[in-house]
Amino acid sequence: MTYAEAAAWLDGRANLERKMDPAAWTSIKLERVERLCQLLGDPQRGGRVVHIAGSKGKGSVAAMVESVLRAAGLRTGLYTSPDLTSRRERIQVDGQPISETDFARIVAQRLQTAAAAYEAEGWGDELSYFDLLTALGFCWFAEQQVAWPVIEVGLGGRLDATNVVAPAVCAITTLCLEHTQFLGDTLALIAGEKAGIIKPGVPVVSAPQQPEAAAVLARVAAERGAPLLAAEGVRAVPGGEFVELADGRVGQRLAVEWAGGEVEVTLPLLGAHQIINAAVARTVLAQTGVVTRGTLAAGLAKVRWPGRLQVVARRPWVVLDGAHTPDSAARLREALALFPHRRLWLVLGSARDKNTAGLCAELAPGAAAVFVTGVPGNQRAMRAADLAEVARPHAREVIVADDPAHALRSAVARADADDLVCVTGSLYLVGAILAEG
């Protein structure tokens, strides 16, 4: 089997990422993933798992935790979603994505066999794309004898395919209203879904939450005898909010409490929200017992998390960020203010199931113009013409572009050398730009 054939086999399965179908969500049963893993020999039981859920920042926290554990000399796995340019980037060992050869081999030799056995048992529920890709990640981590798999939840927590792990420590990042058609339309309901990853007796670290969400997390943790730990121990270093790094990236300087003192670190991720995420990562890492001051600083300095305030060009600045909710857009707006620039030009895409009006309200008023575009091949993407109608009440000028590359070229052409062009609104839009090179 080739990699393309393996990818096509997976793509034939139901995929909530591509088509947000509430009916498909209601049919999800965690038991089907548990049975699939049993048929594969329970590969998810290897290593000491860090399991991370949340509405915002869970990927950043996962990247930080993995980078520090790797800097400590440990064999790490990282499982994240969605992908930007290749599905292989979701499954990494020691910072390297699974190869096409190994991806195809595991599909052919293990997943297809297990899926056929599962279906022969007459369960009636079809295994989804995410079910199978998650199991593939578990198989690869087990084969590679990963000591610390860091696993990011895909959607929610309680019913997520990743929730078959037996973690050593859990984390729940900042919660907000998101995916309400699946998770519920209140913070309490969403917190209940995220709290589904909390396991009896397993420490769970929480970012600061709104009272409604905090109360739910506290109740579930108490019911399950899980120590609930507040994320803490990280503060901004005055004057260190925006640092240009030697490798062309930008970041910030933070002071992190560790081993009875503080260590100053340079984090190559911008924004006050990343201070909160770093506090979650720091508190998770404190539970592992395997990290020193030196490896903490070294690991945080080496974090790479593409598509989040990622600088891809200068003069003008070109920045890619996957902010796709009003809350994340507000944090993006605050972070963009740190860049030395005169005018902002916005390249915007969005999914049809997102609060696009709220996104535009946060970002469009500060832009000289908004270039709206769709994402070719993505069923969830809003058409550029529809997005333009949503953006116009909030923007000085709206320009409709045929595709992401055209939108970016047009924005850069309008910008001066001391301006800033930001591509945002969807990780799929960011991925399309990165794929163009």
Kindly report the CATH number assigned to the domain that includes residue 408. 3.90.190.20
**Residue that finishes a domain, picked among 272, 301, 330:** 301
Cα 346 versus chain centre, distance:
22
Of 301, 324, 346, at which residue does a domain stop?
301
Span of 203-217, 330-344, 373-387 with lowest mean pLDDT: 373-387
What pLDDT is recorded for position 87? 96
Measured in degrees and rounded to the nearest 5, phi and psi for residue 242 equal -140, 115
Grade residue 353 by pLDDT with cuts at 50, 70 and 90: confident
Share of the chain above pLDDT 90, in %: 88
**Confidence at residue 412, expressed as pLDDT on a 0 to 100 scale:** 98
Q: Are residues 165 and 203 in the same domain?
A: yes
| 291 and 344 belong to one structural domain | no
Q: Is the per-residue pLDDT at 26 higher than 70?
A: no
Q: Which of 142-151, 173-182, 298-307 has the lowest mean pLDDT?
A: 173-182
Same domain as 316, residue 284: no
What integer pLDDT is reported at residue 251 of this predicted model?
Answer: 97
State whether 156 and 264 are in the same domain: yes
8 and 51 co-located in one domain: yes
- pLDDT band at residue 24 under the 50/70/90 scheme: low
| Domain of residue 381, residue span | 310-436
Mean pLDDT of 278-292: 98
CB 266 within 8 A of CB 301: yes
Separation of alpha carbons 135 and 139, rounded Å: 6
**Does one domain contain both 231 and 320?**
no
Same domain, 166 and 256: yes
- DSSP per-residue codes, 378-397: -TTBPPHHHHHHHHGGG-S-
Q: What is the mean pLDDT of residues 325-340?
A: 94
Q: Is the CB of residue 320 less than 8 Å from the CB of residue 307?
A: yes
3-state secondary structure string, 176-206?
CCCCHHHHCCCHHHHHHHHHHHCCCCCCEEE
Average pLDDT of the segment spanning 175-201? 93
Question: What local confidence, expressed as pLDDT, does residue 116 receive?
Answer: 96
Q: pLDDT by residue (tens digit) across 375-399?
A: 877 778 899 999 999 999 999 999 9
Single out the residue in 284, 301, 318 at which a domain terminates.
301
Measured in whole angstroms, how far is the alpha carbon of residue 313 from the centre of its chain?
Answer: 23
Mean pLDDT of 418-437: 93
Percent of the chain at pLDDT exceeding 70: 98
Average pLDDT score over residue span 80-103: 97
Residue 96 sits in the same domain as residue 217: yes
What's the mean pLDDT when you consider all of the chain? 95
Q: Domain tally for the chain?
A: 2
**Do residues 351 and 426 make contact, with C-beta atoms less than 8 angstroms apart?**
yes
**Confidence (pTM):** 0.95
Shared-domain flag, residues 295 and 378: no
Of residues 282, 420, 269, the one with CA closest to residue 339: 420
The Cα–Cα gap between 355 and 357 comes to 6
Does the N-terminal peptide bond of residue 238 adopt cis geometry, omega within 30 degrees of 0? no
pLDDT at 14: 86
Asked if residue 195 and residue 337 are part of one domain, the reply reads: no
Under 8 Å between Cβ of 366 and 344: yes
Q: Residue 20 above 70 pLDDT?
A: no
pLDDT above 80: residue 276? yes
**Whether residue 266 is found in the same domain as residue 201:** yes
- Residue 27 sits in a domain whose CATH number is 3.40.1190.10
Residue 124 has pLDDT above 90, yes or no: no
Residues 129 and 190 in one domain: yes
Structure tokens at 73: 């000399």
pLDDT at 402: 82
Predicted pLDDT at 19: 65
C-alpha 337/C-alpha 292 separation (Å) is 34
Residue 46 has pLDDT above 70, yes or no: yes
* φ, ψ at 372 (rounded to 5°): -100, 145
